[in-house]
Amino acid sequence: MIEYKIRKYPIMGIILVVLIAIWVKALFLMFDDSLKHSAENNSRRRVVQYPSRGIIYDREGNILVCNEAAYDLMIVPHQTFEFDTVMLCNDLGISKEDVEARILKAKKYSMYRPSVFMKQIDSKVYAQMQEHLYRYPGFYVQNRTLRKYNGGIAAHVLGDIGEVSEAQIEADPYYQSGDYVGKSGVERGYEKILRGEKGVSFYLVNVKGVVQGNYEDGKYDTVAIQGNDITLSISSELQAYGEKLMANKVGAVVAIEPSSGEVLAMVSMPTYDPQLMVGRVRGKNYDSLLKAPYKPLLNRAVSSTYPPGSTFKVAQALVALQEGVITPNQSFPCDKSKVGCHNHPTPTSVSMGIQMSCNPYFYFVFRRLVQRGIDKNLYKDAAIGLGLWKEKIETLGFNHAFNVGVPGVNKGQIPGPDYYNRLYGENRWAFSTIYSVSIGQGEVLVSPLQMANYASILANRGYYITPHLLKQINGEDYKGEMAEKVVTPFDRKYFDICVEGMDWVVNKPGGTGHNAYIPGITVCGKTGTAQNPHGKDNSVFMAFAPKEDPKIAIAVYVENAGFGGTWAAPIARLMMEKYIKGEISDPNLEQRILTTSILPNATR
């Protein structure tokens, strides 16, 4: 009896310890939020409501980008049971091995949290699968939208959307894995305007994952807010026409309305159908385009830079006149021993120098700008002169990356004293080292966008509105920081002199841009033939029209096409005439441009 009494105390102690452990565990379970959420997730489903992205219109109200329904098939592995794998394979058009691999991937991610089994299912596939969805326990559909790009134009302007990256998720807590975001073009540039705001809905589900109703009558649900619609300044008709003219060519065309800074067309060739970058085929098509000849994914209109060639002579004339190193009736000999030139009469004025595009004339102009006699030391004098020149030339929008609304804008290059000090060493260079800059060669680089803006400055006789693509948000005119008026430090009278020369380039005998002539419209332009280290010279032309009350300013680059007056000028002429008149007066010229292929070496 005594022995029994002694034994009962250890037994009671063990029972007490067990009861205390159970009690502590119960308390732990009561206050462990992770377990609470895990239990809730077994009966409650959180479904993100993705907003429709804003619609994108052109300046005439035509829809460039809209939305169409798509669906993500989601899976919660913990809720999956035996189901007809063959039927699911047939519904989705995938193999049994693919199904098994996707389920395994989902399980590795989480047994309890939903993940995407198959993304971006189109309406046709969804309609077939919907009838059988109840047979697939643990699966449900989440509504999404896909972008639809109309007309197959303006791929570089519009851009595309794709799955968000880890870096973007870290940078912006709005995004979660599986979200989509603008990757290029205005889809990226105006992402926060277009994307809208996500909502969320909570549903009660049974053990098989079948929805039983709203969780607490939708108390915690939030509504998705649709993205803002935007109107671009692009004219889809002019854009499409420019892409036709530039077919089978490499280069870019940018057209701007001078009075507003609105970009009317932004053509980069070669291009591609933006619809290729939509849905599950995006990755495959992106890889193909990335490896394609002539880099079709590159937006040459804003990202590529080229020597401006003789189009730069107008800028040289403006700076020289403003700085007082030449007079309006300045005459220089066409001395071909200094720099090569074509045969023409000796220019007896700045306007005539522009008309004839005389290389030696602008050799002497630039020499006066650089070697001003401010310092007795030749090298120091060149550094001072070039610094003053650079300060003025940059006010024409060069060496500046405009926030036009698309990513990848290149600022180009205007070399100054620091550049040449690094290249040659301090006090080791002078005008004779850098004279190629006088005719827009050497180290000067500009983008087609900068060139079109430069044409706008000349059209406005001294100012520009920052070039931009965004015209309206939800039908209201956009008046943002991107559309500011910038006044250049040049006297109006000097613009008049230079514009007169540009008029003569197109409309007088001896002018190098006669192929830009439009009956009944006074076109002012300047040709350029820019040296190209990769092959034949690039054909360049910049212009505006009409001379009084300009409606359009334009820049055209055609790589490896030779003289600016032969190819770039007629393309600009056709674009301007199409925009101003709505029709073409020379169908033979149009046919020549449309049917000519000018493709450089395909390895570029």
* DSSP string computed for 205-227: E-TT--EEEEGGGGTT-B--BPP
The amino acid occupying position 95 is S
Are 192 and 244 members of one domain?
no
> Do residues 78 and 130 both lie within one domain?
yes
C-alpha distances (whole Å) from 334 to each of 196, 330, 339, 359 are: 62, 13, 9, 7
Q: How many Cβ atoms from other residues are within 10 Å of residue 438's Cβ?
A: 26
Question: What pLDDT does residue 481 have?
Answer: 64
C-alpha dist (Å) from residue 207 to 40, 43, 102, 212, 478: 12, 7, 21, 10, 52
**Looking at the structure, do residues 276 and 375 belong to the same domain, yes or no?**
yes
Point out the domain boundary residue: 143, 165, 196. Answer: 196
Within a domain: 40: no
312: containing domain: 236-281+299-595
> Quick check: is 220 in a domain?
no
Domain assignment of residue 427, yes or no: yes
- Specify whether 381 is located in the same domain as 515: yes
Residues 440 and 313 in one domain: yes
Strands 538-545 vs 552-558: parallel, antiparallel or unpaired: antiparallel
Check: CB of residue 474 under 8 Å from CB of residue 490. no
Domain assignment present for 568: yes
CATH at residue 409: 3.40.710.10
The number of distinct structural domains making up the chain is: 2
Note whether 166 and 241 are same-domain residues.
no
The pLDDT of residue 37? 46
Last residue of a domain, one of 145, 168, 196: 196
Give which of 139, 73, 77, 145 is closest to 108, Cα–Cα.
Answer: 77
What pLDDT was estimated at residue 112? Answer: 82
Domain membership of residue 504 (yes or no) is: yes
Amino acid identity at 557: Y
Q: What is the mean pLDDT of each run of 10 residues along the chain (604 residues)?
A: 57 69 60 48 74 96 94 89 89 92 92 88 86 89 90 97 91 89 96 93 72 76 92 98 97 97 97 92 92 96 96 98 97 91 92 96 98 96 98 98 96 98 96 96 97 98 97 89 87 98 95 95 95 82 97 97 93 98 96 93 56
CA pair distance 445, 255, nearest whole angstrom: 19
Residue 174 domain-assigned (yes or no): yes
Same-domain check for residues 364 and 505: yes
CA proximity to 543, closest of 508, 582, 585, 501? 501
How crowded is the C-beta side of 155, counted as CA atoms within 13 Å?
A: 20
Q: What residues does 181 pair with on adjacent strands?
A: 162
d(CA 179, CA 144) in angstroms, rounded, equals 10
Beta strand extents in 50-149 (DSSP E only): 56-57, 63-75, 115-122, 139-149
pTM comes to: 0.88
DSSP state of 168: H
Phi and psi angles of residue 196, each rounded to the nearest 5 degrees, phi first: 80, -165
Claim to verify: residue 258 and residue 176 sit in the same structural domain: no
Q: Is residue 481 situated within a structural domain?
A: yes
Q: Is 235 helix (H, G, I), strand (E, B) or coil?
A: coil
Q: How far apart are CA 497 and CA 86, in angstroms?
A: 79
Regarding whether 561 and 432 lie in a shared domain, the answer is yes
Whether residue 35 lies inside any domain: the answer is no
For residue 121, what is the domain's CATH number? Answer: 3.90.1310.10
pLDDT of residue 204: 83
Q: Among 196, 222, 252, which residue terminates a domain?
A: 196
376 and 456: one domain? yes
Residues 431 and 554 in one domain: yes
CA distance 379 to 431: 9
Judge if 185 and 269 occupy the same domain: no
Secondary structure of residue 556 in the 3-state scheme: strand
